[in-house]
Amino acid sequence: MSDSNPTPARIEATPTVIALLEAEIAEYNSRRAKLLEVVVGLTANRRAEVFRQHLEGLTLKTTYNAHRIKAGKILVAKLREELKPLIEQVLVKELAIHLAETEVVLYEDTEKDILRERAVKKETGLYADTARFIDLLYDEHEVSRDDFAALTTEDVAAVAALINERVSARLSEEMCTESLNFARKF
């Protein structure tokens, strides 16, 4: 019958082996002490966390009202701090939305004017400004279409020169430049 457990080899207790064992035991004790410090620190942190949650938990029945008030004020202050950057972002976005909506309204109004002028052009064969000018000539000065028909080529040229001269006198070069720059944006 053979033994299933062989006998361990005997190690001679020399001073070198004893020194190695003492060093290993010292290292083990050092690691054990550090581990115990960490465990104590974890439990201390856990106790502090439980205490903090206990004070901040507004629904717990065991806390005093003063603690609940303090926790509520702390929570409100924390939420306000978290909201500050969000409020700034919301204000910037809201301003951008307002500007975009204003721009859309301006473009819609311009488009309505264009459609109205096209309807007048289609109906009368004249642009809206021209139709208003002709109506004004008739209403204010009783110039009718028969008067227009009686104009010669020289008369038409003289009227055109007068209109161009008056318009040029009223418009400065700067205003024309601004109008052109504005029109180029579209």
Could you say which residues of the chain have pLDDT below 50?
A: 1
Query: Tens digits of per-residue pLDDT, 90-139?
Result: 888 898 999 999 999 999 999 998 898 888 888 888 888 888 888 898 99
Amino acid at 136: L
The pLDDT value given to residue 91: 86
d(CA 139, CA 150): 19
**Contact at 8 Å (CB) between 72 and 58?**
yes
Structure tokens of 134? Answer: 């002709």
Provide the whole-model pTM. Answer: 0.36
3-state secondary structure 98-136: HHHHHHHHHHHHHHHHHHHHHHHHHHHCCCHHHHHHHHH
| Tokens 């002490």 sit on residue | 33
The pLDDT value given to residue 154: 93
The pLDDT value given to residue 120: 82
Structure tokens of 31? Answer: 């690691």
Q: How many helices (H) and strands (E) does the chain have?
A: 6, 0
